Amino acid sequence: MVFSLKITPIFFLVLYIGFGLRLCIAVWNSFYGPSFGAELDALSFHNVAVEYANDPTASIPGIGWMYSYFLGQFYSITTDHIFLGSLLSCVVWVLSALFLLKILNLLGVNNRNKYLALLIYTFLPSSLLYTSVTLREVYQLLFVNIVIYSALMIIIRKSLLHWMSLSIGVIGASILHGGLLIFGVFLTALTLFFLSINSRVSRVKFWTGLTLIAPLLIAIMAFGVSIFTEHAYQLDNGTINSIISFQNTGILIDARTNYKTDVSVSSVFEFLMFIPTSVFQYLFEPMLWKISAVIDIPIFLENILRLWLILIAIKGLRASSLGYYYPLLFILIAYFALEIIWSLGTVNWGTALRHHIPATGILLAAAFANRKIKKKALAKEVKK
């Protein structure tokens, strides 16, 4: 799947430099650090992994700490030094980048746009810092990219084989974070719907069909919420009340980067009105007038870049030919679905910065797949 991808020298050079920079951060973090982003959670995941490595009888943890469990298994056959855990993250990032290139190839993106997408993917400051240490985000990124690639192969190529890789991606993402469990279930349902749509169907008929099949999608999502409740987070007070309670609990943690001070919702309508505001803040905080530290400046600039990518993705979708419309729409829906899920559990831009990592590949695919696409078949890569 991945290793059959042909990589031109310029793409190989970018990947090589990206891996090298991450390796330097891993070395610094392991022997001199911690580096920025490698404190608290990264050290916690590593320390728990060390415990699992030294205690083979330890029980398998629930969703959230499965990363530490697998890292612990890796430590048990190597050694429990944090550099090895960080090095593994660097390798996983390379794999995720290869899947991004496969997605772009599948969408028929020209080399210039693939190069631009890979440059952003490689050198985005938050990606450099968070994908080179012992955090879950780089693994989440890999599995999300696998899910998107597999789904597109199913939709575009009608590939039955890629239902297996889609399942692997969904399961892998789900055991890393409860939010990704919901995302995986939703993407599976969405893939089924797009697979049933004929590429020659008009856009009006497409949206009509989506409306008609909405109850099935809702039913599948309800099943996903049931699994989520059983294995990830308890929603005993109802989904809406649990989300609001979770947000208010996060607000109680005094943090400079909090962009919310209080969340009060008393009806379904108010909750529906709350979601757009929550998503907007999640995507674009800090606002310029909220910048109070030097570290906020690159975060602000990344938010500007994110806004630009979203806008060109939407513009490109509207201008795309019918044959490209559905794959691009699928990617854009997937992006917003993932970011909406993250936004409902996030109250500060420090945490949001990390949560943006798994969606990086989706956004870049949505943005660059529609810029001066060659009017040929959607994909030319060899069928797997």
Q: What is the pLDDT of residue 195?
A: 81
Q: What is the pLDDT of residue 176?
A: 92
Calculate the alpha carbon distances from 356 to 68, 124, 263 in Å: 21, 11, 22
- Of 14-28, 127-141, 243-257, give the lowest mean pLDDT range: 243-257
Partner residues linked to 27 by β-bridges: none
Q: What is the pLDDT of residue 223?
A: 60
How deeply is 125 buried, as exposed, middle or buried, from its count of CB atoms within 10 A (0-12, 13-18, 19+)? middle
Question: Is the peptide bond between 327 and the residue preceding it cis, with omega within 30 degrees of 0?
Answer: no
- Of 78-92, 100-114, 245-259, 277-291, give the lowest mean pLDDT range: 245-259
Mean pLDDT across the chain? 85
Region 349-362 average pLDDT: 95
If you count them, how many residues does the chain have? 384
Structure letter (DSSP) for residue 358 = G
Most confident of 90-104, 236-250, 324-338: 90-104
Q: What is the pLDDT of residue 325?
A: 82
